[in-house]
Structure 1
Amino acid sequence: MVGAHSNANVISPNAKEIADKVYQCTYTYGTVSLIRADGKPEEFLKATIEEPSTKGLSDRKLKSLAEDKRDQILAAFNTNGMAKYEEVDTLDAIRLAANSLKSAETDEKYLVVADPGLSTTGYLNFCKDDLFHTDTADIVEALVDEKAIPDLEGVNVLWMYAGQTAEPQERLSEVQKAKLIEIWTAVLEQAGAASYDFSVDSASSTAYSDLPSVSIVPADERVSDITPLQTVVLDSENVSFVGDQACSRMRNRTKRQSAMSHRHCWIIHKTVFT
């Protein structure tokens, strides 16, 4: 599933995970489908790899043929995988992929999602609906009620570049990224995926250009709410040391000051004596 649209960085078809999965399919004579993930997702390529008509080929030759087929498929990735319509409907793209996989006659089924997952239209709309602040269980329940969950029974899912956006979309906060992955994880589980893995690999740092527009999803400010430690300054008028004892005497200390002093007893390195 190709997420080549305006809020994503350029996806390389030569990324190891993508190339390896396509090669695995061409070498074992499977079926490969490519889905364009934009506002109106479409399956733009479906290829069933036939065994060579010539029998008795060496393993080296068979691998070479598989590599050639892989390269042909990945070439289509760049030529026909670019977005044609505005917005992104990630869930519908997954549904198309699920339907294609359902018809495949094989015990091993893989879905590679190369997409940020920041859908801006359809049933999961991060732009219109406040999904980042909605309970994930409620989101999944709503999708179930609408019969919008795809059927991924027996499918192994590899998701690449989740939460990795490109300009003009602002970078998501780490909390938003975690929530986005939490939502898609719940969807995949409800869909019956045999396994799922969110790759930590990074996309390129180059944004797509001259593609249909995608609405901007509000991003949280990337700041930390940290309260600085309080520095306590003690001088000779308020502190004196008791001879031959490892302790000090505080002068003119009220009960409230005595209670407050306990707040700083573990930050001695922040205490300054003058």
Structure 2
Amino acid sequence: MAVAQPPRTRPRAVRRRRAALLAGLLLATAVLTGCESPPAGKEDKPVAAGCLPSGVAMSLAIGARANSPTPALPDLVVDLARSAALKHRGVSVVQVDGRADVDLKPQVFDSKAQNPNKYEKDLNRWLDGLRQWVATMRADEPEADVLKSLDVAAAQVGPGDTVVLVDSGLQTTAPLDFRTRGMLDADPTDVVEFLRRADALPNLSDRHVLLVGVGDTAPPQAELGVAQRRHVVEIWTAIARAGGATCVELRESPNGTRSDIDSPAVSVVPVAAPPAFTPCGVTVLPDDGAVGFVPDSATFRDPAAARAALAKLAALLERGRPTVELIGTTSSAGTESGRLTLSRDRARAVETVLRELGVPQERISSRGVGDDWPDRRPDRGPRGELLPGPAAQNRTVVVRISCG
């Protein structure tokens, strides 16, 4: 990471305002020789935060960028920062943008106040400065490299400390570019193995990780469905664990989908539209759409969304007397027999819903072809590695409607 970086492009007036905020943040901080204990009554109290420890250093990777909600610190993060401050542990901030560098070096709170009320005022002032720092953050570089941001954030703390990611998680740079068709619904295990082969996993060894607002977006980025958001969380949870994280906690963003940040530019990640079934033709149901499946299973990720999408197909099949053939396909992962079984079971899962919706059994047929079908995409790299995006694209159910 110790490489020369180009100068920041943030306007001078903005830099001055943030420098003033930093001065305010440091005003309540007196770095002493050694660490004095807080006055009586101000001892650190453990924060109820799942597996996250209290009183440890923290590094915050913040996505103050386009297409992601305007950042703010959830109460839990503020409570953890307070606990870190009382133990004289540092709190740092890292940008989630195309370059991913340190925005605020580790800040250590300490106050000479012996009066508990004055000490509390100093502490609150320090925390307010941290909140304001985050609220005025803006990305410097186009795009978003979440992997590198996590790696840089982890380097600001040590074993046993905490890394917090506040971002949508929609990376738009290689090797985890969610703009690649299929990557948004790639199997987390495939993603981890792909990143491991590319030596691109963030080093989170012995760190505790908190994910905040992963999957939350802001216009013009299309909103993700419930199952899609859940899946993005699963991908980042798997990445953090594979990177050596001691544990991973999840929290929702406090900001919904509001954003007042539109530059520098961040590419939009395509989100699959609801299927539009072709009468007397072929429609492909991709795994990143409403009719998608839990990895390595024939269970719908979002049964309600799948049923709603297939209800449109059932309504179409009520007109005249068309028949429908359902063909399950898979990636090249696993054994040949496993691929055939999985593809067959997924086609049958769609058939089951159509029958429940009133389509006569004699007008439906289903079969699985594994990874042997004409329109499959090459999903292996030059060294034989599985490519998560193309692999996800190959996991489909093909709907073939015949009217004659």
TM-score normalized with structure 1 length: 0.74
User: Which of 101, 112, 115 in structure 2 is aligned with 1:58?
Assistant: 115
What amino acid is the match of 1:112?
A: V
User: Which of 55, 66, 71 in structure 2 is aligned with 1:11?
Assistant: 71
Instruction: State whether structure 2 residue 152 is matched by structure 1 residue 101.
Output: no
Task: Return the alpha-carbon distance in structure 2 between the equivalents of residues 52 and 178 of structure 1.
Answer: 42
Identity of aligned residues (%): 26
1:91/1:122 contact within 8 Å kept: no
Task: Return the alpha-carbon distance in structure 2 between the equivalents of residues 133 and 73 of structure 1.
Answer: 35
Q: Could you report, residue by residue, the CA deviation over 1:52-103 in whole angstroms, capped at 9, with x for unpaired residues? A: 346xx13333332222212222222233x2111111111110000011113x
2:88/2:108 contact within 8 Å kept: yes
Instruction: State whether structure 2 residue 282 is matched by structure 1 residue 225.
Output: no
Q: Could you report, residue by residue, the CA deviation over 1:198-222 in whole angstroms, capped at 9, with x for unpaired residues? A: 2134523422334211111111235
Task: Return the alpha-carbon distance in structure 2 between the equivalents of residues 30 and 146 of structure 1.
Answer: 34
1:11/1:204 contact within 8 Å kept: no
What amino acid is the match of 1:86?
A: P
Structure with greater contact order relative to length (CA < 8 Å, sep ≥ 6) = 1
2:216/2:256 contact within 8 Å kept: no
Instruction: State whether structure 2 residue 234 is matched by structure 1 residue 182.
Output: yes
Q: Residues 149 and 65 (structure 1 numbering): CA distance in 2 closer, same or farther, change over 3 Å?
A: same
Aligned length: 226
- Pairs within 5 Å for 1:103-142: 108-128=160-180, 130-142=182-194
User: Which of 25, 40, 45 in structure 1 is aligned with 2:99?
Assistant: 40
Unaligned runs of 5+ in 2: 1-60, 275-304, 319-354, 357-404
Instruction: State whether structure 2 residue 127 is matched by structure 1 residue 70.
Output: yes
What amino acid is the match of 1:8?
A: S
The structure with more radius of gyration: 1
2:71/2:134 contact within 8 Å kept: no
User: Which of 216, 220, 223 in structure 1 is aligned with 2:268?
Assistant: 216
What amino acid is the match of 2:103?
A: F
1:195 aligns with 247
What amino acid is the match of 2:97?
A: D
SS of alignment partner, residue 23 of structure 1: helix
What amino acid is the match of 1:219?
A: V
1:167 aligns with 219
Task: Return the alpha-carbon distance in structure 1 between the equivalents of residues 203 and 163 of structure 2.
Answer: 12
2:302 aligns with none
Q: Residues 143 and 109 (structure 1 numbering): CA distance in 2 closer, same or farther, change over 3 Å?
A: same
User: Which of 80, 84, 88 in structure 2 is aligned with 1:25?
Assistant: 84
Task: Return the alpha-carbon distance in structure 1 between the equivalents of residues 91 and 231 of structure 2.
Answer: 31
Q: Residues 86 and 221 (structure 1 numbering): CA distance in 2 closer, same or farther, change over 3 Å?
A: same
What amino acid is the match of 2:99?
A: K
Task: Return the alpha-carbon distance in structure 2 between the equivalents of residues 62 and 155 of structure 1.
Answer: 30
Shift of 1:127: 0.9
Shift of 1:50: 5.0
Shift of 1:225: 2.0
CA RMSD of aligned residues (A): 2.6
2:203 aligns with 151
Unaligned runs of 5+ in 1: 232-262, 265-274
1:27/1:62 contact within 8 Å kept: no
SS of alignment partner, residue 101 of structure 1: coil
TM-score normalized with structure 2 length: 0.51
1:120/1:215 contact within 8 Å kept: yes
What amino acid is the match of 1:75?
A: Q
